[in-house]
């Protein structure tokens, strides 16, 4: 039976494939995002059954207090970068918009939009979060280029027909 492979993410990049033993040696926290073939989407490490034992003793010790009952330590608030939940779903693919603008407008500029849009989810589920974000932005950019080019072609066409109409009238 092949060993199960794991991927983890710091919120920007993904790392893996790793075995369970290799994953345990990494500095992952309870909110680190984990993915395997068994999981539908990226999941917090604390919610992955094989990793629950890593976080059993993750309760911080009590804050020391003085005799008067006031805390002697000022709390410091830090943010856990791995708790970024923006990546629980893939970025917007713009696939439907790409197809519609390709049919209605200009297919030369619509094809790159469709290509980029079709790669978003594949990259996301492979763990390439930055690549998925980039392809989503590129698909949107090519949709906008397609719409602008279509508008310019229509304006040019109407202008030429208008000019032809005016010259034939005189």
Q: Is residue 112 located within the same domain as residue 149?
A: yes
Q: Is residue 149 located within the same domain as residue 110?
A: yes
Domain final position from 25, 50, 85: 85
Q: How confident is the model at residue 52 (pLDDT cuts 50, 70, 90)?
A: confident
Whole-model pTM over 0.85: no
Rounded mean pLDDT of 15-25?
85
The whole-angstrom separation of Cα 130 and Cα 27 is 21
Contact 29, 47 (CB under 8 A): no
Q: Is residue 127 located within the same domain as residue 146?
A: yes
Domain final position from 85, 114, 136: 85
Mean pLDDT for all residues in the chain: 81
According to the model, what pLDDT value does residue 65 have? 59
In a domain, 1, yes or no: no
Rounded mean pLDDT of 36-52?
84
Domain count for the chain: 2
In a domain, 62, yes or no: yes
Contact 40, 125 (CB under 8 A): no
Q: Is residue 100 located within the same domain as residue 130?
A: yes
Q: Is residue 105 located within the same domain as residue 48?
A: no
Range of the domain at 22: 6-85
81 vs 132, higher pLDDT? 132
In a domain, 122, yes or no: yes
Q: Is residue 95 located within the same domain as residue 78?
A: no
Burial grade of 45 (CB within 10 A; 0-12, 13-18, 19 or more) = buried
Q: Is residue 98 located within the same domain as residue 155?
A: yes
According to the model, what pLDDT value does residue 113 have? 94
- What is the percentage of the chain residues whose pLDDT exceeds 70? 79
In a domain, 45, yes or no: yes
The whole-angstrom separation of Cα 34 and Cα 26 is 12
- DSSP, residue by residue, 57-121: T-PPPPPPB-TTS-BSS-------GGG-GGGGSPPP--HHHHHHHHHHS-HHHHHHHHHHHHHHH
In a domain, 56, yes or no: yes
Contact 127, 96 (CB under 8 A): no
- What 3-state DSSP class applies to 141? helix
pLDDT tens digits for range 53-87: 877 655 555 555 556 555 555 544 444 444 444 45
Q: Is residue 76 located within the same domain as residue 113?
A: no
According to the model, what pLDDT value does residue 147 have? 94
- What is the percentage of the chain residues whose pLDDT exceeds 90? 32
According to the model, what pLDDT value does residue 138 have? 96
Residue 41 clears pLDDT 60, i.e. is over it: yes
Domain final position from 70, 85, 100: 85
According to the model, what pLDDT value does residue 112 have? 94
Q: Please report how the helices 95-104 and 107-125 are oriented relative to each other, as an axis angle in degrees rounded to 10.
A: 170
What one-character DSSP code corresponds to residue 126? T
């Amino acid at each position: 039976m092949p060993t199960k492979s794991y991927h983890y993410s710091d919120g920007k990049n993904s790392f893996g494939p790793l075995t369970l033993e290799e994953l345990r040696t990494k500095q992952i926290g309870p909110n680190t995002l984990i993915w395997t073939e068994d999981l539908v989407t990226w999941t917090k490490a604390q919610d992955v059954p094989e990793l629950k034992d890593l976080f059993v003793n993750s309760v911080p010790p009590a804050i020391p207090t003085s005799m008067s009952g006031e805390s002697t330590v000022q709390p410091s608030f830090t943010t856990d970068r791995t708790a970024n939940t923006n990546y629980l779903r893939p970025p917007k693919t713009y696939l439907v918009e790409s197809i519609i603008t390709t049919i209605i407008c200009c297919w030369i500029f619509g094809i790159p939009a469709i290509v980029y849009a079709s790669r978003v989810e594949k990259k996301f589920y492979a763990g390439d979060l930055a690549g998925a974000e980039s392809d989503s932005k590129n698909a949107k950019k090519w949709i906008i280029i397609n719409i602008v080019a279509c508008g310019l072609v229509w304006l040019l066409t109407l202008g030429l027909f208008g000019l032809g109409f005016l010259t034939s009238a005189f």
